[in-house]
Homo-oligomer: A and B are copies of this chain.
Amino acid sequence: MPQTDPVPSVFDAATAVTRTEGGGLVADLDPGWDVGAGVLNGGYLLAVVARAALVGSPHPHPVALSASFLRATGPGPAALAVTAGPAGRTLAHSSVVLAGPDGPTLSAQVTTATLTGEPPAYSAAPPPEATPVERCLPPVDDGSLAHPLPEVGLRTRVHTRLDPVTAGWAVARPSDEPVMRAWVRLADGREPDPLALLLFADALPPTSWAIGRFGWAPTVQLQVLVRALPAPGWCLVEARASEIAGGWLDEDYRIWDSTGRLVAQSRQLARLPR
């Protein structure tokens, strides 16, 4: 039987970074990963930035990435300026600046290392009780929802199955608690890895939606820690705000793989929707 070419991953293609003849790194940011109004999703951008950091690193995985979102980033050609820091046997550091035609839009610190499958020595973050995927909200609005997920590019790239227990906001019954859970996976069938976890760490609507404060909550600064290589299958994401004050909102994400292992943690500071 002739070998067939593997289907290329939409995610891998959209986050690809290539070296120019001049030696710089560039990406062609894909308009399909938007969150509305031509603005690209933050997690998608983190995956692109991490790929740029990995190009010159002796290690294969991003384990810590902190980014300041300087301006909204749109699709099209972008340059990635990498400043390599120390690189050792255990980890390597670099700084990456993503710039579009109008200048820098995202500036990040990236730490790369080599993650293993070693089981945790201590774990205090078991996965929460979540509704099974098949009983979560339908992926496409069937007309029953008062506030469905907006039909933006990101939702066609990341399958997002909202847990009805934390999706009262979608049926006009917002909660008192800014908490949201969902199962996520790449729509292209590609299994999760540390790059996909960076994407997932900013994949849900603003946590403030859970309490009925709809609107745009722009990320100001976001840190993601990748803690383990994820197993294949759906990942469970829980987002939680612990303090809303003075127009600012924090969002903590925890992500577990299909075996229930904690694979990523993130925290962002965002502006509260008006």
Contact = CB atoms under 8 A, between A and B. Distances in A.
Contact of A242 (B66, B86, B262): B262
Contacts of A111: 68, 220-221, 269
Interface in A133-192: 177-178
A223 interface: yes
Contact of A243 (B97, B262, B271): B262
A245 B246 CA distance: 36
A109 interface: yes
A90 B271 contact: yes
A14 to B, nearest CB: 25
Contacts of A220: 63-64, 91, 111
Interface string A65-91: 011101100000000000101100011
Given A63-B248, A63-B269, A242 B125 contact: yes
Chain A interface, >50% SS class: strand
A267 interface: yes
A267 B269 contact: no
Size category of the binding interface on chain A: 35 or more
Contact of A122 (B67, B115, B228, B241): B241
A70 B91 contact: no
A269 B120 contact: no
A49 to B, nearest CB: 12
Contact of A248 (B83, B97, B227): B227
The 8 A-B residue pairs with the shortest CB-CB distance in the complex, in nearest-first order: A66-B66, A120-B245, A64-B221, A122-B244, A223-B223, A68-B109, A125-B242, A121-B244
23 contacts: A63-B248, A63-B269, A64-B269, A66-B221, A68-B85, A71-B86, A93-B107, A95-B95, A107-B109, A109-B221, A115-B246, A118-B245, A119-B245, A120-B244, A121-B272, A122-B178, A122-B241, A122-B245, A123-B242, A125-B242, A225-B267, A227-B245, A243-B262
